[in-house]
């Protein structure tokens, strides 16, 4: 009986763990042949539900390294999904990159420290091959974030210090800063004080009981140069004194993501609370995001939709229409917004048939909905039309 109970618990856990994401969907699992490295890398691509190849919309790019570490990689993906679903960070295109055990050290070490290492080739793979590939084929915008653990925590830190123009944000989990002839704490501070980049850059790292001395080194260097740093660079470390090396990703990823996108989520909240006309409030929202990130990161789908329903429920139908029109501009495959617009137009006593036709024309092409959801929305629209006919 005990064995059967244990088996049931394992099955329940497996089923729960295998549940699909709330706001994301796996798109591709493949091998990416690298000319720079001379071998292929394991690559998985995860995209938001609103992603669709034939749409013009683009999304921030997140690169996660060490895909082969299933536990931490899955937790990072699920944390991104959780924060996205709660409008605490924007929808993103996620590229997860794996490393073979025998190649991982060489990928993350530099020839200045060890002549046989090939970190410089890996750097060119990331910036010359992988990121351009994501932008060309998978709707990735010019906002790029890198997430790495342990040796890839060191390497992503190096990439941020060396290429701040190409890294909008880096999260380094259990990194170390020192290798032979290299001190990345010095490099980070030097970059943040000498770079001419004016748009914000974010670096977050966290260590546990593995590298407390590295945390102290970073804090010391940061303190010594606090007056020299550019205001565009936001550098912050965090220590969890009792956390083991492999526990740090699970503990640190949520606060790091939250802090990086705190201004983005704050702008959404101000938009929802704004008493300004919808289009003016949306313009303020867009400017706030651009100022905080130097990049046109889309507002949250749920916030745009919520603003429409808030106005609608307060009988401010024209403002509701403007909010839903904005939703469609950012997320064209959110086809049901045409149905909402038609309802608001009807309440205003203006023609709504064109919006209704747009709904019927757009929803078959949308990949945002399942087939069942499409059928339900179409039936809802037809029932609404039938009720209107009875009233006439």
Strand runs (DSSP E) across 49-88, as ranges? 59-65
* Bigger pLDDT: 301 vs 18: 301
**Both tokens assigned to 112:** 């200045």
CA dist., res. 134 & res. 292, Å (int): 23
Q: What is the pLDDT of residue 277?
A: 84
CATH number of 266-391: 1.25.40.10
Other CB atoms within 10 A of residue 240 CB: 17
User: Which are the contacts of 63, defined by CB distance < 8 A and separation ≥ 6?
Assistant: 94, 95, 96, 97, 126, 130, 131, 144, 145, 146, 147
- Specify whether the backbone of 143 is left (phi greater than 0), alpha (psi in -120 to 50) or beta: beta
CATH number of 18-260: 3.40.50.1820
CA dist., res. 331 & res. 78, Å (int): 22
Reported pTM: 0.92
Per residue in 214-223, pLDDT (tens digit) is 999 999 988 8
Q: What is the pLDDT of residue 4?
A: 33
| Residue percentage of the chain with pLDDT more than 70 | 93
How far from chain centre, in Å, is Cα 295?
13
CA dist., res. 10 & res. 12, Å (int): 5
Beta bridge partners of 236: 204
Is the pLDDT confidence value at 380 over 70?
yes
CA dist., res. 358 & res. 354, Å (int): 6
DSSP for 198-216, written as a single string: -S-EEEEEEE-SS-HHHHH
Q: What are phi and psi of 348, to 5 degrees?
A: -85, -10
Average model confidence (pLDDT) across the chain: 91
Q: Comparing 18-260 with 266-391, is the CATH topology the same?
A: no
pLDDT band at 14 (very low <50, low <70, confident <90, very high): very low
Query: Which burial class, exposed, middle or buried, applies to 33 when counting CB atoms under 10 A from its CB (0-12, 13-18, 19+)?
Result: exposed
Residue found by looking up tokens 């949250």 in the block: 300
Nearest partner of 301 among 47, 48, 19, judged by Cα: 48
Q: Where are the domains of the chain?
A: 18-260, 266-391
Q: What is the pLDDT of residue 195?
A: 86
Residue found by looking up tokens 């850059």 in the block: 201
- Which secondary structure element, helix H or strand E, spans residue 179, and what is its range? strand 178-179
Is the pLDDT confidence value at 89 over 90?
yes
The answer to whether 61 touches 140, Cβ cutoff 8 Å, is yes
- C-alpha pair distances (Å), 249 with each of 19, 89, 298, 380: 21, 18, 27, 44
Is the pLDDT confidence value at 304 over 80?
yes
Is the pLDDT confidence value at 281 over 60?
yes
Q: What is the pLDDT of residue 10?
A: 32
């Amino acid at each position: 009986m005990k064995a059967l109970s244990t088996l049931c618990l394992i099955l329940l856990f497996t089923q729960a763990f295998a549940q699909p994401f709330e706001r994301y969907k796996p798109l591709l699992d493949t091998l990416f042949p690298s000319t720079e490295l001379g071998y292929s890398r394991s690559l998985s691509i995860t995209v938001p539900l609103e992603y669709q190849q034939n749409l013009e919309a683009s999304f921030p790019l997140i690169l996660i390294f060490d895909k082969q570490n299933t536990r931490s990689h899955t937790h990072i993906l699920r944390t991104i999904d959780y924060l996205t679903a709660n409008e605490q960070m924007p929808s993103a295109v996620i590229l997860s990159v794996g490393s073979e055990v025998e190649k991982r050290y060489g990928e993350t070490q530099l020839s200045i420290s060890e002549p046989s290492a090939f970190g410089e080739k890996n750097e060119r793979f990331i910036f010359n091959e992988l990121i351009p590939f994501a932008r060309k084929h998978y709707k990735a915008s010019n906002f790029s974030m890198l997430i790495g653990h342990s040796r890839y925590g060191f390497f992503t830190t190096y990439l941020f210090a060396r290429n701040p123009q190409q890294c909008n944000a880096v999260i380094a989990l259990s990194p170390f800063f020192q290798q032979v002839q290299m001190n990345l704490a010095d490099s980070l501070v030097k970059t943040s004080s000498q770079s001419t980049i004016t748009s914000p850059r974010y670096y977050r790292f966290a260590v546990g009981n593995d590298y407390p001395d590295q945390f102290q080194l970073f804090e010391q260097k940061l303190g010594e140069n606090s007056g020299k740093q550019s205001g565009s660079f936001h550098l912050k470390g965090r220590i969890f004194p009792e956390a083991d090396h492999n526990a740090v990703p699970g503990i640190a990823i949520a606060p790091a993501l939250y802090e990086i996108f705190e201004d983005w989520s704050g702008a959404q909240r101000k938009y929802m609370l704004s008493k300004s006309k919808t289009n003016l409030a949306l313009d303020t929202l867009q400017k706030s995001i651009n100022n905080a990130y130097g990049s046109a990161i889309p507002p949250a789908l749920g916030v745009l939709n919520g603003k429409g329903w808030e106005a609608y429920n307060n009988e401010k139908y024209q403002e509701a229409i403007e909010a839903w029109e904005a939703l469609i501009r950012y997320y064209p495959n959110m086809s049901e917004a045409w149905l909402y617009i038609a309802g608001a137009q009807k309440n205003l006593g203006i023609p709504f048939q064109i919006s209704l036709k747009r709904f019927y024309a757009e929803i078959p092409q949308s990949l945002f909905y399942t087939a069942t959801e499409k059928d339900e929305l179409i039936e809802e629209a037809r029932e609404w039309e039938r009720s209107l006919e009875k009233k006439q």
